[in-house]
Copies of this chain bind each other. A is one copy, B any other.
Amino acid sequence: MFRARYPFKSIRSYSSLTVKSLYEQLHQPRHDSISVDGWIKSIRLLKRIAFLDLQDGTSVNPLRIVVPLANADYVHFLKNLKTGQTLSISNAIWQDTPSREQPFELQIKDPIESIKIIGPVSENYPLQKKFQTLPFLRSLPTLKYKTSYLSAILRLRSFVELQFMHFFQEIHFTKVSPPILTSNDCEGAGELFQVSTNQLSSPSSYFGKPTYLTVSTQLHLEILALSLSRCWTLSPCFRAERSDTPRHLSEFWMLEVEMCFIDSINELTSFVETTMKTVIQSCLDNQKELLPKQFISLKEDDALSTSLDQERQDIITRWQTLASEKWQTITYTQAIEILKKNYNEVPLFKYEPIWGQPLQTEHEKWLAGEYFKSPVFVTDYPRVCKAFYMKQNSTPDNTVACFDLLVPGMGEIIGGSLREDDYDKLCKEMKERGMNKSGELDWYVSLRKEGSAPHGGFGLGFERFISYLYGNHNIRDAIPFHRTAAGSINF
């Protein structure tokens, strides 16, 4: 029997191999008998032989199993197998198949002996080949990740998370877990979920004051960065959004980074670019195990615009471009100039670009997708457009040291800034905005008095990034059991 790298001799689930582990041993195949478990992806009966494709969710590659139809009993047995059934296979023999699409297959002599059905499917099992459009799959929340297209996005997410962990560990960041339950409203946005117990009458009686789900862990991260120098988190965040778009979730995971001893916004954007490129390069290096050979046949609708191979190649090309080319950087003021010029020449936009007003999603998407055709950092927004904690520039234009990273097709995926570390300036800004009237943010401003440091950070919407990498542009596929404004929670 093959062995996994760790010594699980006594554990059937580890002596029985995953499909992934078989593919990992391509260059040193073994010729003793193999056991493997999984689900039937497809089955095809020819005259003398049957092809059984098995999947177990650990690999983008299916496992081809070849069964001889040597007698009527075998034919009868094989004919009763159904897509989606769970099988336990034993006594299979490795066979190299260099001339076929898949590099090897497993051969079975006696299917009745070697194939055990350990999980049934119903007569109406819905994952038959012909029905697999994305809208249809999204209507099957308990089954949809049995498809190779959607299970691949979960494995990509898991892989990307590990790459971030490696990277940050390597450069001495500590991963931390700031609270989800909080009494403060980081952004002042007001779109909060409130929390109460189901056994008490008053919403505030459990924790002593009104308690919310965090919209961003940044303020807490600042505390920890001022102790650890460099910290990051990947935490769920919550916004009671009214927006019901493929770019918005009510519950999403945010990768947030906070670090000390950083002085300029260009240091921060360089750091972001290095971080993201390192992760994207790892994806490129592992493209074979990350991207399925077959993309889903029909995506958003029945119209098939590109070939399946083309779609896979488009993703790889995008990763290559992202990893190798220098990302653009412009100031907000430059962005407005570019937008104004084009607004005047061609009426592209619904909203007129005006200095002092936020960029609209249409502006962001056009800048990254049409004008630069590249990720672009837009820096130094007007103070009034951004949050109270951003560091004020020393220039007289009333801007703050911040950036948004815009990417083609998706718009903003990262926002970051230096944080105001001047106690007096911070207090003045909060007062002008009518904040901290009852001292609820005294703890935050007090950080500027006890061993403060120049610091800054950023937040990356994790599902937006995964969805952008995978090229499907709907973040609801990048998280299992998505929570959105218009969606109901069925379980």
Q: Using a CB–CB distance below 8 Å, which chain A residues touch chain B?
A: 4-8, 10-14, 16, 18, 20-21, 37-39, 56-58, 84-86, 88, 118-122, 125, 141-143, 145-146, 151, 154-155, 157-159, 161-162, 165-167, 169-172, 174-184, 190-199, 206-209, 211-213, 219-220, 223-224, 226-230, 235-236, 238, 240, 250-251, 253, 259-263, 267, 270-271, 274, 278, 421, 440-441, 443-444, 446-447, 449-454, 479-481, 483, 485, 487-491
A57:B227 contact, CB within 8 angstroms: yes
Supply 15 further A-B pairs (C-beta < 8 A) apart from A56-B260, A162-B166, A176-B480: A8-B271, A12-B261, A57-B174, A58-B172, A118-B453, A146-B227, A154-B176, A161-B175, A177-B236, A192-B198, A207-B250, A207-B488, A209-B488, A220-B480, A220-B491
Distance between Cα atoms of A396 and B450 in the complex (Å)? 65
Q: Which chain B residue shows the least CB distance to A483?
A: B181
Distance between Cα atoms of A60 and B61 in the complex (Å)? 45
B11:A480 contact, CB within 8 angstroms: no
Q: Which chain B residue shows the least CB distance to A225?
A: B57
Distance between Cα atoms of A296 and B228 in the complex (Å)? 18
Given contacts A177-B253, A267-B12, contact A489 B193 (CB under 8 A): no
Tell me how far the C-beta of A17 lies from the nearest C-beta in chain B, rounded to whole angstroms. 9
A229:B18 contact, CB within 8 angstroms: yes
Q: What are 16 A-B contacts with C-beta separation under 8 Å? A: A8-B171, A8-B270, A11-B270, A14-B271, A18-B229, A38-B229, A58-B172, A119-B421, A141-B223, A146-B227, A154-B174, A177-B480, A193-B195, A195-B195, A208-B489, A440-B491
Given contacts A11-B271, A58-B229, A174-B158, contact A86 B142 (CB under 8 A): no
Q: Which chain B residue shows the least CB distance to A451?
A: B84
Distance between Cα atoms of A12 and B453 in the complex (Å)? 14
Residues in B neighbouring A171, C-beta threshold 8 A: 4-6, 8, 14
Residues in B neighbouring A178, C-beta threshold 8 A: 480-481
Residues in B neighbouring A85, C-beta threshold 8 A: 451
User: Out of B6, B213, B491, which one reaches A183, CB within 8 Å?
Assistant: B491
Residues in B neighbouring A88, C-beta threshold 8 A: 261
A37:B453 contact, CB within 8 angstroms: yes
Tell me how far the C-beta of A183 lies from the nearest C-beta in chain B, rounded to whole angstroms. 5
Distance between Cα atoms of A449 and B122 in the complex (Å)? 6
B181:A443 contact, CB within 8 angstroms: no
A120:B452 contact, CB within 8 angstroms: yes
User: Out of B8, B11, B20, B220, which one reaches A481, CB within 8 Å?
Assistant: B220
A443:B240 contact, CB within 8 angstroms: no
A145:B196 contact, CB within 8 angstroms: no
Distance between Cα atoms of A356 and B224 in the complex (Å)? 46
A121:B480 contact, CB within 8 angstroms: no
